[in-house]
């Protein structure tokens, strides 16, 4: 029995690796390819006209090297790790992480979170719902994520008399909350706040940012969500060949 289980485990890992490697390459290279060909309007505010650089499809918004290699390796490793625990969760999580990567790049480079990616995140809450306690938990997560960010945006505008937090961050955190549930959203809010504050202080000390300048929160929300998904995936039971 021991030998049979060991053989099954080896076969499982080989299958997951065989699927995760090409999927990781597809997602990693696809992220660079798709972002470089996004409609320019997606990367602008509602009433803003795209710049000449955005309209020029010959300009690489994201460099192919080394980003394709880095992204591909990241998705492949995550796919193998999450797939060993639950291949259904891994498949869904990888595409959610792909969307978060696109959002992080857009917010970092252009200070914009495209609504289209947020809508897709909301759609991914349906397959991820099987890992939540119930639908109410998802709704509470959405309310917590969007509500906290909305209050923070209003408080920031009141205190500094300008927009300190974009509404895109509010919508993003609401979408993330819908997929993460109440406890997951609380974790993501706390971790993204800690990471973004640490990054702001570091950049401020190094002179790379001024006190009055805004810091894009999308990348830190995406990073915190990735950590949460990694932790959640590691706690799931194995689902094939076990």
pLDDT digits (tens, 9 = 90+) for 97-139: 999 999 999 999 999 999 999 999 999 888 887 777 788 999 9
- Residue 144, classified by CB atoms within 10 Å of its CB into exposed (0-12), middle (13-18) or buried (19+), is buried
Non-local (6+) Cβ contacts of 148 within 8 A are 173, 189
pLDDT at residue 142, as a whole number: 96
What's the distance, CA 26 to chain centroid?
Answer: 17
The C-alpha atoms of residue 181 and residue 191 are separated, in whole angstroms, by 15
Tell me the per-residue pLDDT of 79-92, one tens digit each, with 9 for 90 and over: 999 999 898 899 99
Q: Are 193 and 242 in contact (CB under 8 A)?
A: no
pLDDT at residue 239, as a whole number: 45
pLDDT at residue 52, as a whole number: 87
pLDDT at 160 over 90: no
pLDDT at residue 241, as a whole number: 38
Query: Higher confidence at residue 223 or residue 206?
Result: 223
pLDDT at residue 66, as a whole number: 95
Q: Are 40 and 50 in contact (CB under 8 A)?
A: yes
The C-alpha atoms of residue 158 and residue 148 are separated, in whole angstroms, by 15
pLDDT averaged over every residue in the chain: 89
Region 142-149: what's the mean pLDDT? Answer: 96
pLDDT at residue 212, as a whole number: 73
pLDDT at 36 over 50: yes
pLDDT at residue 240, as a whole number: 40
Tell me the per-residue pLDDT of 175-211, one tens digit each, with 9 for 90 and over: 999 999 999 999 999 999 999 999 999 998 988 888 7
């Amino acid at each position: 029995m021991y030998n049979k289980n060991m053989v099954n485990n080896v076969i499982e890992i080989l299958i997951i690796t065989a699927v995760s490697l090409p999927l990781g390459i597809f997602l990693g290279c696809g992220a660079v390819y798709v972002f470089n060909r996004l409609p320019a309007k997606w990367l602008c505010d509602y009433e803003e006209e795209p710049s000449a650089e955005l309209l020029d499809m010959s300009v690489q918004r994201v460099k192919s090297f080394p980003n394709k290699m880095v992204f591909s390796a990241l998705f492949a490793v995550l796919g193998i790790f999450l797939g060993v625990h639950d291949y259904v969760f891994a498949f869904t999580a990888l595409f959610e992480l792909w969307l978060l990567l696109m959002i992080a790049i857009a917010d970092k480079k252009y200070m914009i979170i495209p609504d289209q990616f947020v809508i897709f995140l909301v759609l991914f809450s349906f397959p991820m719902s099987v890992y939540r306690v119930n639908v109410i938990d998802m709704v509470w997560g959405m309310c917590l994520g969007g509500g906290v960010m909305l209050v923070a945006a209003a408080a920031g505008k009141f205190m500094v008399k300008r927009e300190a937090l974009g509404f895109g961050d509010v919508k993003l955190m609401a979408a993330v909350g819908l997929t993460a549930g109440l406890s997951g959203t609380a974790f993501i809010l706390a971790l993204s706040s800690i990471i973004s504050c640490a990054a702001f202080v570091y950049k401020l000390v190094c002179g790379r940012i001024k006190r009055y300048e805004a810091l894009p929160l999308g990348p830190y929300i995406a990073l915190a969500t990735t950590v949460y998904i990694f932790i959640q995936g590691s706690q799931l039971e194995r689902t094939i060949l076990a």
